Structure 1
Amino acid sequence: MEDIKIDSSLSFGGYHWRVLDIRNNTALIITENIIEQRAYHDAYKDITWADCALRKYLNGEFYDNFNATDQSRIMPVINKNPDNPWYGSKGGTDTQDSVFLLSIEEVVCKYFGDSSSKLYNRGKNQKYWFERKDENNSKRIARLEANKGGIIWWWWLRSPGRVNVKAVYIHGDGNIGIQGNNILKGNISDGKCTGGVRPALWLKL
């Protein structure tokens, strides 16, 4: 694992990952692509990251697919889950996660450029605060790996949307849908749940 640097890529557990941060000989990594499509939760009800079906899946079935050697390198972390910064919907309790989704704050302020001024200075009538003009949008665009054409698609964050039957997501053009998509059906106009999943984890180097 030599020469691992922030923004470099690596292979681990059968996936390609992007390095977002390095601390104390561990690296925060996220899959380069959207690896699958899933609902945020398996019922249409108020929910937070702590209790949602997608968290259970990532820390259960998805984690269990790694072999014992790889599992020994995945470092559990305590994640903060802030309330939605525009609407005040509850982020829920802190969670201990081996595998997780990124939060709004991590995506907007830390790991894909710093657009925090737009996050904390909401304009009037904004649904997506970037309105296609933010210089960091292109850094958040992801492709659907399962599709042979690698089409650009939207992907979930763990943060709550405008209400707790929605979760925040990254739009296909890199905008952030802070109002959120339906936790069960995703983008309802698609006719089925199509929410993209980009797992993140801390890896021992």
Structure 2
Amino acid sequence: MEEFNIGGVIPFSGYNWRILDIKNNAALIITEYIIEQRAYHDAYKDITWADCSLRKYLNGEFYDKFNATDKSRIIPVINKNFDNQWYGSKGGADTNDSIFLLSIEEVCKYFGDSSSKLQNRGKNQRYWFERKDENNSKRIARLQGKEWGWWWWLRSPGRVNVKAVYIFGTDGNIGIQGNNILKGNISDGKCTGGVRPALWLKLEL
């Protein structure tokens, strides 16, 4: 029987996944690498995770790439989508997701625990969450097949609802103002944000 430990990496359906949490014979897992680059939404307009095109893709076309056996192990969950704590932009409705992106709250909890700093926000946080947080480096991720890191999306809203929060590619900082949902970091030209899908996996069939 395969051994499952928090922090370990397991293969599942063609990807390597890092285990972030284990509860009730289920594991919260996220792809070890950024598996692709996509816009958060397909139009430049106010949007929340509940209605964005990236959520539709992950729970539709991407989910349908899993075979029947693997789908039977993916546990749908209700995700809370909180407002941005710095700017008040709306997180939107709770969502029923099979595949999802992590939130600010989840990356602070699971990549080393910085949750206390999130609850007691510093006065100088305007663009980054805790630039010198000791856990930032744990959030850095590489593009699959590449040797360099890239920034990746969270599902949380940015400063306004045409932006979404992200993890900076080289330092692992949390960009609380967010990047443009359609074009990402505009200075990157045609490049868009990295996608690291997460899901709850049943550990025993």
TM-score (norm 1): 0.95
Deviates more, 1:177-186 or 1:192-201: 192-201
RMSD between aligned residues: 1.1
Query: Do the aligned partners of 1:184 and 1:193 also contact (CA within 8 Å) in 2?
Result: no
Q: Percent identity?
A: 79
Q: What are the residue-to-residue correspondences of 1:13-162 with 2, within 5 Å?
A: 13-108=13-108, 110-119=109-118, 120-124=120-124, 126-131=126-131, 133-147=132-146, 150-162=147-159
Counterpart amino acid of residue 168 in structure 2: H
Which residues of structure 2 form unaligned runs of 5+?
A: none
Structure 1 residue runs of 4 or more that deviate by more than 3 Å after TM superposition: none
Query: Do the aligned partners of 2:19 and 2:27 also contact (CA within 8 Å) in 1?
Result: yes
- Residue 164 of structure 1 corresponds to 161
Residue 192 of structure 1 deviates from its aligned partner by: 1.5
Q: Number of aligned residue pairs: give it.
A: 201
User: Which digits, 9 at most, give the CA deviation of each residue in 1:122-166, with x for residues without a partner?
Assistant: 3236311322x210011100001143xx21110000000000000
Residue 57 of structure 1 deviates from its aligned partner by: 0.3
Could you tell me how far apart the structure 2 residues matched to 1:114 and 1:23 are?
Answer: 17
Counterpart amino acid of residue 137 in structure 2: S
Q: The residue matched to 2:117 in structure 1 has which SS?
A: helix
Could you tell me how far apart the structure 2 residues matched to 1:129 and 1:72 are?
Answer: 37
Which residues of structure 1 form unaligned runs of 5+?
A: none
- Residue 192 of structure 1 corresponds to 190
Could you tell me how far apart the structure 1 residues matched to 2:167 and 2:129 are?
Answer: 12
Residue 97 of structure 1 deviates from its aligned partner by: 0.2
TM-score (norm 2): 0.95
Counterpart amino acid of residue 187 in structure 1: N
Counterpart amino acid of residue 129 in structure 1: F
